[in-house]
Amino acid sequence: MLHLPPCQIKYSSNFQVPLISPSDSSVIISRNTKKLANRRETTMTTKKKDRKWIWTSSVLLAGFIAYIVVYPPVSASKAEKTIATVNGVKISSTQLYDAMVAGGGQQTLDSLINDELISQESKKAGIVVTDDDVNAELKSIQASFPSQEQFQQALTSYGMTIDDLKKNMSSQVMLKKILEPQITVTDDDIKKYYDENLETLKTPEQVQASHITVATKAEADALLAKLKSGSDFAALAKESSTDANTKDKGGELGYFSAGTQDAALEKAAFALKTGELSEPVQTASGYDIIKVTDHKAAATPTLDEKKDSIKQTLTEQKISDMSQTWLEQKKSEATIKSDLVNGV
């Protein structure tokens, strides 16, 4: 299971476990997921991010299930363990294992089989996945999340670390290296994509701002007086802000466009000039003091500016489209035996 670099991923329909190990390359998406991934987004970057969010969630879950399938909680040589009781009735480790296999075992086994096929074909082709390849893929995944905190939260929610994730990324990187040389993207393809997706490629007006959130207007007034007297904004944010997501960063919100923040905060921020402070603004979280540090006007990129990124997007789409056919062909050529139905 891995991640793909802005590429799509296909999932099994019932259990959202990737049919192939994901990574920087290809993948397989369930019909409902694919519809979401194909929706028009505000930017091409957002489209890529959506795919990665989808992938990351499934790969973390798949990693846990795969562990259960490969390392069942009980074996013939060990006594069955009671892992829980309900009003004195025991639930055994065998019951847990059987339930996990029934719930997603076949899909996970399919993923492991695909991983092995990819590995064998990579060896035949002399393909090597380096630490640099994996680190580049990891960086791509991290960049797909709105913040580093949210990326870490996704890992934590599945009991995984970055190292765990990196271990699951090799197969997709291999698959991408196998298929990418077979992909051709022409200038006409790029121009067609640019024309058809120009609205989503445009960058809306953005503002860069920081804020300090407090509970009452009186607190906000006191903070504003300190700021006007020369106090450091970041220091006051770390000391006084109730926004746990930004206080440790000195209240930094980064760049944002309309429709992504609290409506009152946005209205005040976009009305400020660079370097200006707002009066106390009542928001859903309390009262904010806002400082704007930069403005970016809305922009329409040229074809030349977007050519490389569009080529990458089209390449990844074609890899995604090709991956399932490629895997099915390799499966048909391989000798595969499975005893999952009888218990592993």
Q: What is the spatial distance between Cα 207 and Cα 287, in angstroms, rounded to a whole number?
A: 20
Q: Give whole-number Cα distances, 38 to 29, 48, 116, 184, 197, in Å.
A: 11, 10, 30, 21, 12
Burial classification of residue 181, based on how many CB atoms lie within 10 Å of its CB (0-12 exposed, 13-18 middle, 19 or more buried): exposed
Fold observed for domain 31-186+304-342: Triger factor/SurA peptide-binding fold (1.10.4030)
Q: What is the spatial distance between Cα 168 and Cα 78, in angstroms, rounded to a whole number?
A: 29
Beta bridge partners of 90: 85
CATH 1.10.4030 maps onto the chain at 31-186+304-342
Contact present, 108 and 17 (Cβ < 8 Å): yes
Q: What is the spatial distance between Cα 84 and Cα 199, in angstroms, rounded to a whole number?
A: 55
**This prediction's pTM:** 0.59
For 96-139, what is each residue's pLDDT tens digit? Answer: 878 877 777 778 788 888 889 999 999 999 999 999 998 988 88
Whole-number average pLDDT of the chain: 78
Share of the chain above pLDDT 90, in %: 48
Taking the CA atoms of 251, 57, 47 and 263 in sequence, report the sign of the dihedral they define: negative
Of 147, 145, 150, the C-alpha closest to 253 is 147
CATH 3.10.50.40 maps onto the chain at 204-296
pLDDT the model gives residue 50: 43
Tell which CATH classification among 3.30.465.10, 3.40.470.10, 3.40.47.10, 3.10.50.40 matches the domain 204-296. Answer: 3.10.50.40
Burial classification of residue 18, based on how many CB atoms lie within 10 Å of its CB (0-12 exposed, 13-18 middle, 19 or more buried): buried
Contact present, 209 and 257 (Cβ < 8 Å): no
pLDDT the model gives residue 160: 84
Identify the three-state secondary structure at position 146.
coil
Provide mean pLDDT across the span 276-295. Answer: 97
Q: What is the spatial distance between Cα 142 and Cα 154, in angstroms, rounded to a whole number?
A: 11
Has residue 242 got a pLDDT over 80? yes
Q: What is the spatial distance between Cα 28 and Cα 320, in angstroms, rounded to a whole number?
A: 7
